[in-house]
Structure 1
C-alpha cells in the first residue's frame, strides 16, 4: 500500500468516526422519540385517540418512565397502562403455560411430553407476536385489554388455578380466572365486576386472538401445507381457510354461531371453545412471518355473557391424534385431513380401525405398516388375480391381433377396432378386464396417500435407517436445484421408484404392451418420484412394500395360470356358436355398433 492510498483511507475513517459522533441524537431527542413511540402504542391500544394533546403526550411519557401522571390516571383504566411485565407459570402433567401480566394473556404454551423435530422443547407459540384481548368502550374511549397491565391475586399459581385482575377501581375490575383442566384443556372464565355503568357494550365483548405459530417439524413447506384455521359451527359443520394461500373470511352476525376455532398446525392445535358460541366471526391466515414461524393466524369474534354475567371459555393445546381429538368431543377430530369424498370414509371407517387394532400389539410402526399392507393385499388379491388373468388372455391373443392388423392395415383404425372386438367376443375375452380391477383398487391406494401424511402416530417414530416416519428420510442433500427446488434425495422414495420401474417392466411382459403404452408406464414413476420425494417416509415405505408384495402375488399367480390352457380355452370359445341376443347386448355390442356407424360416416366423407 503506497503513502497516498494509506492517507486517503485514514481520512475516510476519520470522516466516518466524526460523522458518527456529530450526527448522534442528543439525549433529549432520544427521549422525545421514545415518548412518540409510546404515544403511538397507546393510540393502537385505544387508550388515546388520534387527536392526542400535548398534555396527553406528557402523560404517555410519564407512563413510559414508570411515573403515574394525573392526566393518565384520568383515562379509563389509566393506572393499568404502567407496570413491569411478569410471567407466571401454570401447568399440569401435559401442558405448561406462562401467563403474562400484560394483557393477562397466555404468553406461551409448551407441551411437556413432546419435542420439536430437532429435540427442543415444543412451544406452540410465545412472545409479543401473539395476542389475546377484549375490546370495548369505556368512558367514551376504546379499550383493548391486551396492552393493559393485570395484577395476579396471588404471587404464584396455586392448585392449577390463577386469577389475573385488571382494575378500574378497588371495587370495579375484570378477572381472568385460569384453571388447568384434564390433560390438554385450560379453562378461562372472564368475570367483569361492577363495570355495568363503565363498559358501554352491554353484555357483548369483542375478542381478538392471534398467534404466530412456531416451526415444529422438519419440512416447513409441508408443515405450512397442513396448517390453517379450522372452525366448527353450532350445526356441526366444520370448515377451514385455504392452507395453500393467505386468506381472510367473515361470518356475519346473523349467520350460524361458531363454537370452536382452531389454529391448526400439522400435528398440533391451539383451539378456543365457547359453549355460548361466537358471533360475527372473522378469520385470517398469513405466511408473512419470520423465518422460524410457519403462519400467523388470527380471529376476531363477538361473545355474549352467560346468565351469570361471565364469559366462560376453554382452550385445547395438544396433539392432532385422532383418538385424542375425538375424546374432546365437539367433532374436533374432523380437522384431521383424511381426504375428500369416498377417500375420507375409507380412511375413517376401514384403514384407521385396522391401524388402531394393530397398535394394541405394541409393535414398531414399521412392522405395523408391513402388516397393514399385507392385510390390504390379501383383501385385494381376488381383484389382482382377475387383472392378471385378463392380461394373460390379451397376451395369448396378441398373435391373432397382429394378423388382423397386418390384414386390415393401420389406415382404417375404426375397422381395425371392429375386427378386434369381433375377436374378443368370439374368444370370450373382455379387453377391459385388466383395467377394471386396477380401477377398483385406486381409491384405496389414493386413500393411503392422504392417510399417512396426517397420521400423528408416525411422528418421531423410527424404523431401520428412517429416523422419523412422518417426514422424509435423507440419503443425499445439496443446494436447491433450479426450477425443481429439490434440496435432498429420499432413500425410501428412491427405493419405491426403482421397485415401481421394475414392476412396470414385468407388467409389460405380462400384458404384452407395445408402442407408446410400453413407455408411458416408465414415465409415471419418475413423475411420482418428484412428487413424493418430500412426502413421509412411512408413505413411501408403504408403496415400496406394496410393490414387493405385488411381485410375490404375480409370481404365485403365474404358477397357477398356464398360457397353453388359456389358449386352448380361447380356441374352444371361438368354436362355440354365438348367441344372437347376447351378441346384440352388452358393452362390446354397443362399441361395435358405434364403430360401424363411424365407419359408414368415414366412407360417406370419402365419397
Structure 2
C-alpha cells in the first residue's frame, strides 16, 4: 500500500471517525426523549389508576367494574375481556397473539440467539402496539385497547402445511372487524388480513380512511449497542425500486403522501416488516433514539387505509420477521434486500453484483467463514493484480529517476519550488514517465477496498460465527477489556485490529524502502496513519479487520513477487532510450495544464521582504 493509497484512505477514515461523534444523540434529543417517556409513563399510570379505582370500588360495592355508560357506547362490550394468548409457530418463528388488541404480542426467532445467549425475541409485551384508529358515534376508537374474541387454538405447522386463526372485534351481530392471521411452514412470514363487515354505518361519515397504527421499542440484541443503533432505522418502499429510510444518526420523521408498499422496523441484523398487498395510502413514520440503555430505538408508523362505504372491506397484508440476510430478503421479494447497506455509488454495485454472488458461492461449500474470507480475499486481489503490477512499475520508474531528481533539486535549490516542479515535469516528459502512474491504479482499487467496509459490518452470515480466538466475526474481538478511557471512550483492545495495524506498518516500511521518491514527511505520515486506524477500527467487526489484514499481507506478497519480475536496469534503459528520441512525446492534458500553471507562477513578481522598500 503506497503513500497515494494512504492519503486517500485517511480522508475516508477521518470522516468515519468524525461520524462516531456526530452520531451521538445530543443533550436536547435525550431530554426530549425523556420528556416523551415521562409523558407516556404518566398516561399509563393514569389509566392504571383509573382502572384500579374502578376495581377497588367494584369490589367494595359488588358492582360491575366497567361503567354502564362505557358499555353502552361503541364497542362497549369489548372494553373489558379475557387476555388470552394464541401462538402461531413453524420451523423458524413463534408468534404469540393476544386477544387484547388482537395484536401480535411477541415474536421469537427460534434458530437465533442474542449476543449473550438468550432467546432472540424481536419485540415483546407492552413495547408493542398495533391497531386501527377511527371515529364512531362521536368517539375515537383505538382497537389496540379493546378485547377481541377467538375460537382458535395454538397452531404449529411444518413443511407445506398452513393454518389460520381469526380474532373478532364485535360491534353488533352483523357488524365487526376481523383480524385473520395465518402461517405456513418453512418461512418467516405471518399472514395478516383485516376484514370489516357492516362498518359503513359505524365509522363516522366524515372519514374516508382508517389509520393503522404500529409502534414498538426494539431491545438490544448485539454486543455493541452503539454499532447496533448506527445501523437501525425505519425503512419504507414507495415503489418496487424506490426504497428509502429515515435517518440512522438522529431522531427523524416523515409524512409520506405517496402510496407505501411496506414499512420495516429494521435493526442491525433483523427486520420487522409489514407488507400491504394493495399498498397503504400514505402515512407518517417516526424513529427515535431511546434514553433507555436497553432499547435500541423506538419506531412508529401511522399508515392510512382507504375505507369504502360498502358492507365488506378487505385489506390483505403480511408480516416478515427475520434476518437481514441478503439472499433471504431477496428471495422474499418486494425489494427488502435493499435495506442492507451495501454502500453508495460504485461500492454498492460492487457488493451487490460481485461480492455477494461470490460470497454466496463460497458459502455453499459450508466452509468456516475464516476460510471463506481468505479465499474471497485471494480471488479479489488476484483480480486486481494487474493494477497492482502497474502501480509497482510506476513506483520503480520514479525510484530509478530519484538520482536525477536529487541533482535537479541540488541545482535549483529549495527556495524556488515552482521552478523545481517545472524541472521535474521536464524530466518526466523526457523520460516518458507519468508521475501519477502509481496513483491511478490505486485509485481504481479504492472502491473495492471501501466496498468491503460496508459489506462485512452488515453481513448476517458472520453473526455468532467463531474463528480462531474470535467468538463472533460480526463484532469486535475484545482480548483485553477495561474501563472506558476518557475522551475516546475505548474500553477494549482488538487483537485482530492490532494484527492488521502491524501488517500495515510492515507494508508501509517496505513501500518506503522501495519508493525512492518518498520524502521524509511522507514516510512519517505513512507510519502515523496505521496507528490512527488502530483506534478507528478497534470497535469494528473482527471479520472486517481480518479481511484488511489478509488483504495487506497478500498485497505485500504480490509486491515481493513483482519486485523479482521488474528489473530496474531495464527500466533505466527504457528511460534513457526515451530521452534520446528526436521528437518529444506528445504532452498529456494534465502535463500541459501543469506546465501552464508553473509558467504563470514563475512569471509572477516575487513579494518584497518585510521592512524593505
| Bucket of the pairwise TM-score, normalised by the shorter protein | 0.7 to 0.9
Unaligned runs of 5+ in 2: 1-41, 157-161
> Following superposition of structure 1 onto structure 2, how do residues 59-458 of structure 1 map, counting pairs within 5 Å?
62=58, 67-157=65-155, 160-182=163-185, 183-200=187-204, 204-234=209-239, 236-252=241-257, 256-305=258-307, 308-458=312-462
Distance 1:351 1:250 in 2: 36
Instruction: Choose from 38, 45, 68 the match for 2:47.
Output: 38
Stretch moving more, 179-188 or 260-269: 179-188
1:257-308 Cα offsets, whole Å, 9 max, x none, are 0010000111110000112211231111111253222111110111125885
Q: Match for residue 604 of structure 2?
A: 601
SS, match of residue 362 in structure 1: coil
Stretch moving more, 178-187 or 80-89: 80-89
Q: Match for residue 533 of structure 1?
A: 538
Q: Match for residue 46 of structure 1?
A: none
Q: Match for residue 496 of structure 2?
A: 492
SS, match of residue 550 in structure 1: helix
Larger relative contact order (Cα-Cα within 8 Å, sequence gap ≥ 6) = 2
TM-score, reference length from structure 1: 0.87
1:516 paired with 2:521, answer yes
SS, match of residue 296 in structure 1: strand
1:34-85 Cα offsets, whole Å, 9 max, x none, are 999338879xxxxxxxxxxxxxx96996599963442221221122111342
Distance 1:41 1:558 in 2: 82
Displacement, 1:523?
2.0
Displacement, 1:568?
2.8
Residues 377/154 of structure 1: CA separation in 2 closer, same or farther (3 Å cut)? closer
Distance 2:285 2:57 in 1: 35
Q: Match for residue 37 of structure 2?
A: none
Residues 100/558 of structure 1: CA separation in 2 closer, same or farther (3 Å cut)? same
Distance 2:439 2:415 in 1: 27
Distance 1:555 1:112 in 2: 50
Contact 2:259 2:280 in 1 (8 A): yes
> Following superposition of structure 1 onto structure 2, how do residues 457-496 of structure 1 map, counting pairs within 5 Å?
457-496=461-500
1:491-545 Cα offsets, whole Å, 9 max, x none, are 1111101111111111111112122111111222122222211111111000000
Displacement, 1:586?
4.0
Contact 1:283 1:298 in 2 (8 A): yes
Residues 163/392 of structure 1: CA separation in 2 closer, same or farther (3 Å cut)? same
Contact 2:231 2:268 in 1 (8 A): yes
Residues 179/203 of structure 1: CA separation in 2 closer, same or farther (3 Å cut)? farther
1:228-273 Cα offsets, whole Å, 9 max, x none, are 0000013630000011111111113xxx200100001111100001
Q: Which has the larger radius of gyration?
A: 1
Residues 180/589 of structure 1: CA separation in 2 closer, same or farther (3 Å cut)? same
Q: Match for residue 4 of structure 2?
A: none
Q: Match for residue 3 of structure 1?
A: none
1:429-456 Cα offsets, whole Å, 9 max, x none, are 1111111111111011001111111111
Contact 2:240 2:334 in 1 (8 A): no
Contact 1:102 1:148 in 2 (8 A): yes
Distance 1:35 1:106 in 2: 20
1:557 paired with 2:566, answer no
Displacement, 1:485?
0.9
Q: Match for residue 49 of structure 1?
A: none
Distance 2:594 2:137 in 1: 81
Contact 2:54 2:66 in 1 (8 A): no
Distance 1:265 1:470 in 2: 14
